[in-house]
């Protein structure tokens, strides 16, 4: 066995050698396939970056067109999925509905393809999942809330179709631009818990669908992707309790009670600014006029950020601005983390491809601090 070091939460542990992305905190840059993610988010669109993440290079115009056509052709989900969503208890959490939908999809996959972990087979499955995750996320939520399904419009672009299904109408240009840039910021982020979950599962040679289901289960957690929903709920609580004049005292009370303020802190960034948060916060004032309480929420946002830095030397991570931005875009709060997952599907597909292309089973060891040298009685205790 190599070095027997123990790091709680695998803090600082290198889990794999990857060509997909790195959080280079020395230069405060998220490197994705050699590019600065923020520069990509400023200049390109989600499907360009999804192509880059999955194939390892930016598409030519023809490749980009073909990629988008493939995603559009495969955007619709089997009719049985709509029936499944209607059968779900209305108390089902949106992320659980999405997780179940992805799991159910596996049964509709060609059995030979399902269990074929070759690069070509994984690429086919990965593109299908990327194409279908918007319809899964939106229409499972619609079913849980007795809203009519909005099936994909395959004549629309990937992100335009996503917003069309969300809203039931085509988005305006400003909303679509903001939604696309937010989506690019979520696309890939080195080795977060959910990506690691996908790779751990794939490393047993389990299939792409199983790896994705594990990633959804992980991302739901409030310490991870679930923080974007908790972050907006925190701001709305302050709004309810008195608005901007109440913000500082409210945060101080929470900190004195040793509460976690969701949307702040990060295992890797620690005392540094998440480059995605710094980029996206610029959009908050631009969209504030789209909701009645936008100006107040933007003011509360700024106060919370100032107090968290002053009291805990903590900066926002990407979930803090995105929670408010999705609210300004009129997205229902329970859909925030499913939308995060939809974006990260491109990154997770790339990681499962990389894992299966050069696999080694993840199997860590433990420090055992339990009892030893105990012996059972010489006959069974229970009736069996």
Nearest residue (beta carbon) to ligand SDX: 265
Question: With binding defined as CB under 6 A, does residue 246 bind ligand SDX?
Answer: no
Q: Contact letters (x/-) for ligand SDX, 199-238, by CB under 6 A?
A: ------------------------xxx-x-----------
- Candidate segments 37-45, 199-207, 241-249, 316-324, binder of ligand SDX by CB under 6 A: 316-324
Smallest gap from Cβ 264 to ligand SDX, in A, equals 4
Residues written for the chain:
384
Long-range contacts of 155-163 (CB under 8 A, 24+ apart): 155/72, 156/72, 157/47, 157/68, 157/72, 158/46, 158/47, 158/68, 158/71, 158/72, 158/75, 158/134, 159/45, 159/46, 159/47, 159/183, 161/72, 161/75, 161/134, 162/134, 162/138, 162/339, 162/342
Q: Mask of contacts with ligand SDX, 55-84, x by CB under 6 A?
A: ------------------------------
User: 368 — alpha (psi -120 to 50), left (phi > 0) or beta?
Assistant: beta
* Residue 177 bears catalytic tag: no
The three-state secondary structure class of 277 is helix
Query: Counting beta carbons within 10 angstroms of the beta carbon of residue 365, is it exposed (0 to 12), middle (13 to 18) or buried (19 or more)?
Result: exposed
Q: Is 13 in the site for ligand SDX (CB under 6 A)?
A: no
Asked if 153 contacts 107 with a C-beta cutoff of 8 angstroms, the reply is: no
- In three-state secondary structure terms, 192 is coil
For residue 60, the minimal CB distance to ligand SDX (Å) is 29
Match 């890939």 to its residue by tokens.
188
Number of residues in contact with ligand SDX under rule CB under 6 A = 20
Does 281 help bind ligand SDX (rule: CB under 6 A)?
no
Contact between residue 131 and residue 69 where contact means Cβ atoms under 8 Å apart: no
Residues 248 to 267 in contact with ligand SDX, rule: CB under 6 A: 260-267
Q: Which is nearer to ligand SDX, 101 or 192 (CB)?
A: 192
Q: How far is the CB of 320 from ligand SDX (least distance, A)?
A: 7
| CB 262 to ligand SDX: min, Å | 5
321 binds ligand SDX (CB under 6 A): no
Query: Quick check: is 266 catalytic?
Result: yes
Please identify every residue annotated as catalytic: 266, 319
Query: Which parts of this chain interact with ligand SDX (CB under 6 A)?
Result: 9, 189, 192, 223-225, 227, 260-267, 312, 314, 317-319
């Amino acid at each position: 066995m190599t070095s027997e070091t123990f790091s709680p939460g695998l803090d600082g542990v290198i889990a794999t050698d990857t060509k997909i992305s790195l959080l280079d905190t020395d230069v405060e840059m998220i490197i994705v396939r050699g590019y600065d993610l923020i520069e990509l988010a400023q200049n390109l669109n989600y499907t360009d970056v999804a192509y880059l993440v999955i194939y390892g290079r930016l598409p030519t115009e023809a490749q980009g067109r073909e990629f988008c056509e493939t995603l559009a052709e495969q955007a619709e989900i089997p009719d049985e999925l709509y029936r499944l969503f209607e059968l779900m208890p209305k108390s089902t959490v949106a992320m659980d509905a999405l997780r179940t939908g992805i799991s159910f999809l596996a049964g509709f996959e060609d059995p030979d393809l399902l269990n074929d972990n070759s690069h070509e087979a994984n690429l086919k499955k990965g593109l299908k999942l990327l194409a279908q995750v918007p319809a899964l996320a939106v229409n499972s939520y619609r079913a849980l809330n007795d809203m009519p399904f909005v099936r994909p419009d395959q004549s629309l672009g990937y992100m335009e179709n996503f917003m069309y299904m969300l809203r039931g109408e085509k988005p305006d240009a400003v909303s679509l631009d903001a939604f696309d840039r937010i989506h690019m910021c979520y696309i890939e982020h080195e080795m977060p818990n959910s990506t690691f979950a996908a790779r751990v599962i794939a490393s047993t040679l389990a299939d792409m669908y199983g790896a994705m289901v594990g990633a959804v289960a992980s991302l739901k957690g409030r310490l991870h992707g679930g923080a974007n929903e908790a972050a907006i709920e925190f701001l709305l609580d302050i709004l309810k309790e008195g608005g901007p004049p109440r913000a500082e005292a409210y945060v101080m009370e929470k900190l004195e009670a040793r509460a976690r303020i969701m949307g702040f802190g990060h295992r890797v960034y620690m005392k540094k600014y998440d480059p995605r948060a710094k980029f996206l916060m610029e959009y908050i004032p631009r969209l504030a006029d789209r909701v009645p309480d936008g100006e107040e929420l933007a003011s509360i946002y700024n106060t919370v950020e100032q107090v968290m830095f002053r009291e805990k030397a903590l900066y926002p991570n990407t979930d803090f601005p995105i929670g408010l931005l999705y609210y300004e875009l009129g997205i229902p709060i329970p859909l925030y983390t499913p939308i995060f997952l939809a974006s990260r599907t491109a990154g997770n597909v790339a990681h499962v491809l990389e894992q299966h292309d050069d696999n080694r089973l993840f199997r860590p060891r433990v420090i055992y601090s339990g009892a030893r040298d105990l012996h059972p009685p010489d006959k069974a205790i229970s009736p069996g």
